[in-house]
């Protein structure tokens, strides 16, 4: 099964048909995509800036209580993103900007899983107001950088594909 | 209106409106600015509603400058986007709604921060929580109105 047949199936799916036929489905998915973006970035700023050494007076573990908010935002964006893909697969799959965006999302997700499995257990052992080590700071900086790149690629997507076609 | 017309004819606005990269660059800045302002302030509202309740409100003093940076980015990028086609925007009900909701959200956030400073030490009162819910609703409303702007046919 190759990429174009997956794209075709998505387009023919019930979700794709509905997203094209019911006028409010696509704009609603857009609104959810923007709200999800704010939740993901807002929560990650709280956590990652603390990991990078800002707001030292706050316990890292406390800022980490906002991680489920980020996960919820990401889930909203994956769901609404799938709606876009099913509605107009031909606008996304062939686009270089979209492929880079997908790659960046996978990197961002992997970085988050690395944080959960490799960094969070080490943070547990730190005293309340301690600073993180360089390894954790790199993961935090990558997190902010990757999600901003995802926003940039997403906003450029319609314009890049237009100019290349 | 002559003043707006003169501004809309400047080299900068023409670059934003007519070049290949100007428009997507400004639009992208607008999305990043939104992520900073709305992102941080939604977290502040959620904190008022009890998420991460052991984080002191004072900690947000460190995070608020990030929201201010986002606000500056969005006032600038928003002004550029507006000037490209200001007559259409002024006749667009969704645009007027969005700006009104943003002003209300800003005032609501200011009142919320003031109330929380007053209640410092004690618990968060019911009224303050209602205000936090209202702020969340206003931000979401502004995002919704912002998306609708492009769907309303704009008279040239």
Tokens of A1: 């099964």
For residue B80, is it left (φ>0), alpha (ψ between -120 and 50) or beta?
alpha
Interface-testing mutation among B32, B42, B43, with chain A (most A C-beta atoms within 10 A) = B43
The vertex-B32 CA angle with B95 and B12, nearest 5°, equals 70
Tell me whether residues A34 and B146 touch, CB distance under 8 A: yes
Per the model's pLDDT, the better-predicted residue between A130 and B154 turns out to be A130
End-to-end Cα spacing for chain A: 25
Tell me whether residues B144 and A38 touch, CB distance under 8 A: no
Who among A34, A54, A63 is closest to B147 (CB)? A34
Give the pLDDT confidence score for residue B155 in this predicted structure.
44
Give the pLDDT confidence score for residue A32 in this predicted structure.
98
Who among A30, A35, A55 is closest to B140 (CB)? A35
**Quick one: average pLDDT of A148-161?**
90
User: Whole domain around residue B99: which residue ranges?
Assistant: 3-151
Main-chain phi, psi angles of A115, to 5 degrees: -60, -45
Q: What is the largest CA-CA distance in chain A?
A: 56
Residue B79 in any domain: the answer is yes
Residue B156 in any domain: the answer is no
- pLDDT, one tens digit for every residue, chain B (156 residues): 689 998 998 999 999 988 889 999 999 999 999 999 999 999 999 999 999 888 888 889 899 999 999 999 999 999 999 999 999 999 999 999 999 999 999 999 999 999 998 877 678 899 999 999 999 999 999 999 999 999 986 544
Summarised one tens digit per residue, pLDDT across range A15-68 is: 999 999 999 999 999 999 999 999 999 999 999 999 999 988 888 998 999 999
**Domain count for chain B:** 1
Residue of A nearest to B136 (CA): A35
Give the pLDDT confidence score for residue A165 in this predicted structure.
41
Residue B76 near residue B124 (C-beta atoms within 8 A): no
Residue B24 in any domain: the answer is yes
Within an 8 Å CB–CB cutoff, is residue B59 touching chain A?
yes
For residue B150, is it left (φ>0), alpha (ψ between -120 and 50) or beta?
alpha
Within an 8 Å CB–CB cutoff, is residue B147 touching chain A?
yes
Summarised one tens digit per residue, pLDDT across range A67-104 is: 999 999 999 999 999 999 999 999 999 899 999 999 99
Tell me whether residues A45 and B32 touch, CB distance under 8 A: no
Q: What is the reported pTM?
A: 0.94
> What number is the ipTM of this complex?
0.93
Give the pLDDT confidence score for residue A160 in this predicted structure.
79
Is A136 a residue whose pLDDT tops 80?
yes
Give the pLDDT confidence score for residue A121 in this predicted structure.
92
Convert A122-160 to b/e letters by CB count within 10 Å (16 or more is b): ebeeeeeeeebeeebbebbebbbebbbbbbbbbbbbbbb
Residue B88 in any domain: the answer is yes
How many helices (H) and strands (E) in chain A? 9, 0
Confidence of residue A164 (pLDDT cuts 50, 70, 90): very low
Give the pLDDT confidence score for residue A163 in this predicted structure.
46
Give the pLDDT confidence score for residue B121 in this predicted structure.
66
């Amino acid at each position: 099964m190759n990429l174009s047949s997956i794209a075709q199936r998505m387009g023919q799916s019930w979700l794709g048909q509905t997203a094209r036929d019911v006028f409010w489905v696509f704009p609603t998915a857009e609104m959810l995509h923007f709200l999800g973006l704010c939740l993901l970035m807002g929560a990650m700023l709280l956590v990652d800036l603390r990991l990078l050494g800002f707001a030292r007076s706050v316990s890292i573990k406390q800022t980490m209580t906002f991680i489920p908010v980020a996960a919820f935002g990401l889930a909203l964006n994956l769901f609404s993103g799938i709606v876009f893909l099913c509605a107009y697969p031909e606008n996304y799959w062939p686009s270089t900007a979209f492929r880079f965006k997908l790659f960046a999302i996978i990197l961002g997700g992997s970085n988050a899983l690395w944080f959960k499995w490799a960094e969070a257990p080490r943070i547990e052992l730190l005293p309340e107001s301690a600073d993180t080590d360089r390894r954790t700071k790199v993961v935090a900086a990558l997190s902010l950088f990757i999600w901003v790149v995802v926003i940039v690629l997403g906003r450029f997507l319609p314009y890049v594909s237009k100019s290349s076609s | 209106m002559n003043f707006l017309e003169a501004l809309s004819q400047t080299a900068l606005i023409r670059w934003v409106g007519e070049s290949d990269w100007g428009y997507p660059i400004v639009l992208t800045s607008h999305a990043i600015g939104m992520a900073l302002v709305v992102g941080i302030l939604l977290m502040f509202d959620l904190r008022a509603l009890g998420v991460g309740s052991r984080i002191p409100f004072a900690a947000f003093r460190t995070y608020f400058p990030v929201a201010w940076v986002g606000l500056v980015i969005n006032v600038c990028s928003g002004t550029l986007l507006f000037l490209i086609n200001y007559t259409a925007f002024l006749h667009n009900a969704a645009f007027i709604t969005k700006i009104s909701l943003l002003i209300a959200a800003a005032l609501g956030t200011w009142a919320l921060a003031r109330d929380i400073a007053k209640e410092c030490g004690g618990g968060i009162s019911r009224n303050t929580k209602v205000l936090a819910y209202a702020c969340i609703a206003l931000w979401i409303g502004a995002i919704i109105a912002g998306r609708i702007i492009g769907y309303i046919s704009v008279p040239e």
